[in-house]
Structure 1
Amino acid sequence: MSSPPVDDQDSPAPPRRERPSRLTDIAVALLFAVADAVIVVVGAIWHFVIGMGTAPSPDSPRPAQSRDIPVLIWLVIWGIPAVAAAGAFVHARLRMPVTAVVQGLFTLVCTLLAVAWTRMLLS
């Protein structure tokens, strides 16, 4: 004789992760917002300073020569938005919506800064 069919309701369900409290989510989001703002401001200042330092002078008769850009520079420029996107994804999976939105906005700003840095370095 065959055994009776096993009912799915009798099997133990995998434990669901508890969602962090809204207060924890907001506190973490505020900490990330402050850190992200510092990173964006420092990145924008570096962009301005380095851009002004490498700009050709108006009295220069010849165009600036192209130079090789180390791979490490490209990894830093495009690695920061990649890490920010991973952070936004992780916080979304942890069910922390406020922090995920803050990290998503930071990803957007970092991507815009990376595009600006890339344009500056390639010009």
Structure 2
Amino acid sequence: MATGRGLIADFERAFDEFFDEMLIDRWKGGTGPLEFERAQVVDLADRYEVRVAAVGVDPAKIQAEVAGQRLAVRVPDKLGGLLDSSFAFSDSIDGEASTAKWSEGTLVITLPKKKGRRIALKAS
């Protein structure tokens, strides 16, 4: 059961994510990051796959960063800035094993889920 402090932290995190994704990203991009509105997230047993349409974007300028249970993707906009979008997942992601591929205007990011580690009990 979550403590009061844990609930407050969860609420603050959800509020920050809402504010970042729904408001700030739209202000930065004028009409908004349309590429990310068409993003497709697939939850498979051992990994997540995120597909982002970014037609006309130089793939060498796309930035993707994984931290804990989040993926941040930055794509250059027409004004020389960056459009940011982030995705939150229920499972932790193995950032070291994550990969990204570019094909015909679509970025496909594969994010393996971290596996739990079983702890052996020792007799005291």
- TM above 0.5: no
Q: Between Structure 1 and Structure 2, which shows a larger proportion of strand residues?
A: 2
Q: Which has the larger radius of gyration?
A: 1
Relative to total residues, which structure has the larger helix share, 1 or 2? Answer: 1
Q: Structure 2 length normalisation: TM-score?
A: 0.28
Q: TM-score under structure 1 normalisation?
A: 0.28
